[in-house]
Amino acid sequence: MVLNPVISKLSGKLVVLASASPRRLEILTNIGLRFEVVPSWFKETLDKTLFKTPYEYAVETAKQKALEVAQRMPFKHLKAPDIVIGADTVVTVDGLILEKPADKQDAYRMLSRLSGKEHSVFTGVAIVLCNEKEGGEIEYNVVDFYEETKVKFADLSEDMLWEYINSGEPMDKAGGYGIQALGGMLVEYVKGDFLNVVGFPLNHFCKQLGMIYNSPPESPAHKIKREDSTEAEGPWALVNSLSKCTENGENNQQSSNSDSAQDQNVVGPECAKCNNEGFPHKIVDLLDGFKASKTLFTASKLGVFDVLSDSEGLTLEEVADRIKASVLGTERLLDAAVSLGLLHRLRHGENTVYRNTDQARRFLVSDSPLSLHGYILHCNDLVWPLFTHLESAVREGTNQYERAFGKKTENLFQDGYYKKDDVKMRFMNAMHSIAKVTGTDVATAFDLSQFKTACDVGGCTGAMAYEFTKAHPGLSVIVFDLPPVIEMRHHFQPKEQDDRVSFVAGDFFKDDLPKADLYILARILHDWSDDKVHELLRKVSKACTPGGGLLVSEIFLDEERTRPSRALLQALSMTEGQQRSAVQYRDLLEEHGFTHVQTKYTDNLLDAMLFVKKDPNADKPLPATSSESVETATA
């Protein structure tokens, strides 16, 4: 075996796989390689249009994943790795990169495009060698490569397509299929490395390790030192320019038409460019972070992403005219958005035009299926004012709603502020946005085939409920929420009606809950005081029969409270509720007669836990699945 002499040289070294993919873990485990798994926190937001070939995109993504872990571990895990392995797999057909499908319709589009065609599977791999120098400085040597495999699909019938999609297998697979499982029945032939299609090109990887450890000092690696920083200013210079004009009204920052892949990723505190120990890059990023948030909020509120949604690009003057803003102010806003990776600035003939990025098209245009527009406006109009009084919140330990808005609130839909239809609609839009983006991941987190009816407690517009019925054809869902919410639900109904979703008005603290096999509490428990949480869980436990289920979806804290967490930051708003870890939720639910079955970390805005109601007359609970398990989304 080509790897055998290499394994002995890795003995005693800390080898890390920067991926939670069970397929990559299995491939490397099977050859006897000893390693730890530390999933990368790198957000895969590189703009595909900036890469000439698909494999360049895959290699760069793999490199950023590996570097993020290599640079994080000495600080967050208090140990420096010797080797970090990163990988990214993409499927390409007709010049289009297909990654993981966003939902079933996206999976259908992908697989339909692949039907009857030969396509390419590229895996980019990065091997980061970490060498500690005198004084504690770490030098990173990066070896990267890619592998291409050709795959031919059979002609797929509609029945076969939907049977495969409804199996759930496509949802976490690049290109929407897994060749090592059910997806293998779709494939006519494979040309090249089969394991590359599974997710990791083992043969090529072994050869690269052989070159690294069995070759002269001149290796294929290129070095990345912490002190290397070729761009001193980065995107914050453009963000800062929004708030300050020179005396003659001109911007002193030099604008650049270069939107390289590296430019898109210089903001993150763990970035390869931001670790010069002589300068506090991470602190400065945090210092200026609010300016980036307000740039996003303002661009959304002014409709920048909407006016660019139906165009291949607009000039500065055209955008300024459509959003009814000054040319100078618009220029600085657009350039700041470009620097943050939200927009492209391109040459179009003799003109410079601005265009939405892929992420902006999917998540920032107000009428896109997965738009976060409503939630962004909610953050701007409600959360931002609350956090401007954070110092008072910390000193007093109280919510700052009265200081921010001039009145107290006991219930969002009972005080005068939220009784206004426009404000109520804005709040419901925000909740609808989150449910649309998180719904698929939460709904597909577990096998729920044993349940026939569900009640989404506090389900608002029904967006989450519709995702559950899409994912589980045998399930019907009752949305239970306050009368004012139910009255306005028609504003959010999908074009294709689903009679398996129904709506019942009521107060879940005062009224009886509808009977169901499964109860869903998504983004509910963190909002309320302990007394209210226990009151609600007593009602759910009373309504739920033995063997019935409870699905809790929240942001789960890590036990040590050390990882960057939206939940920890959200807790600073000082609502009467609290954020909890998965263990705390497990203990909480056990008090009310529920047994933990499974946990799913989705890498989305919400995670999920499944519980089953104990049978008080039996020694053991009625299980929903065969064993308790914890599942993590693949990277």
User: Could you give the strand order of the β-sheet that contains 453-457, starting from the edge strand earlier in sequence?
Assistant: 501-505, 476-481, 453-457, 518-522, 549-554, 607-613, 594-601, 629-632
SS3 track for 83-128: EEEEEEEEEEECCEEECCCCCHHHHHHHHHHHCCCEEEEEEEEEEE
According to DSSP, the residues that pair with 88 across neighbouring strands are 124
**On the CB side of 390, how many CA atoms lie within 13 Å of its CA?**
9
Triad 553, 559, 565: Cα angle to 5°: 60
Specify the amino acid at residue 323: I
Mention every residue, 6+ apart, whose C-beta is less than 8 A from residue 106: 176
Nearest to 70 by CA among 128, 19, 13: 128
351: tokens are 């003109």
Nearest to 354 by CA among 371, 331, 325: 331
98: tokens are 């297909």
Say whether 88 is catalytic: yes
Specify the amino acid at residue 408: K
How far apart CA 142 and CA 223 sit, in angstroms, is 6
According to DSSP, the residues that pair with 270 across neighbouring strands are none
Please return the burial class of 584, using the count of CB atoms within 10 Å of its CB with bins 0-12, 13-18 and 19+.
middle
According to DSSP, the residues that pair with 168 across neighbouring strands are none
For CA atoms 357, 362, 365, 371, the dihedral sign is negative
How far apart CA 177 and CA 38 sit, in angstroms, is 25
Cβ neighbours of 495 (radius 10 Å): 4
Catalytic: which of 88, 144, 335, 481? Answer: 88
Tokens 């038409």 belong to which residue?
257
| DSSP three-state, residue 59 | helix
Mention every residue, 6+ apart, whose C-beta is less than 8 A from residue 138: 71, 74, 80, 130, 131, 132, 226
349: tokens are 């003939």
How far apart CA 254 and CA 275 sit, in angstroms, is 24
According to DSSP, the residues that pair with 612 across neighbouring strands are 549, 595
**Phi, psi for residue 544 in degrees, rounded to 5:** -85, 125
Active site residues: 88
